Amino acid sequence: MPEPDVVAYVRAALPAPPARVLEVGAGDGTLAAALRHAGYDVVAIDPAGSPPVLPVVLQDYDAPPRSFDAAVAIVSLHHVTPLGRSLRHLAGLLRRGARLVVDEFDGWAYDEAAAQWWLSHTGEDMTPGDMIAGLREHVHPLTAIREALTAWFDVGLPVPGAYLYRWKLDPALRGEEEALIASGTLPATGARFVAVRR
Q: Where are the domains of the chain?
A: 4-108+140-169+189-197
Question: Residue 9: phi, psi to the nearest 5?
Answer: -60, -45
Query: 25-79 pLDDT, tens per residue?
Result: 999 999 999 999 999 999 999 999 999 999 999 999 999 999 999 999 999 999 9
**Mean pLDDT (the chain, rounded):** 97
Radius of gyration of the chain (CA): 17
CA distances from 94 to 23, 71, 98 (A): 12, 8, 6
Over residues 123-135, the mean pLDDT reads 94
Residues 56/90, Cβ–Cβ less than 8 Å: no
Res 89: pLDDT: 98
Res 1: pLDDT: 62
Task: For residue 142, count CB atoms less than 10 angstroms from its CB and return exposed for 0-12, middle for 13-18, buried for 19 or more.
Answer: buried
CATH annotation of 4-108+140-169+189-197: 3.40.50.150
Res 2: pLDDT: 77
Distance CA 77, CA 103 (A): 9
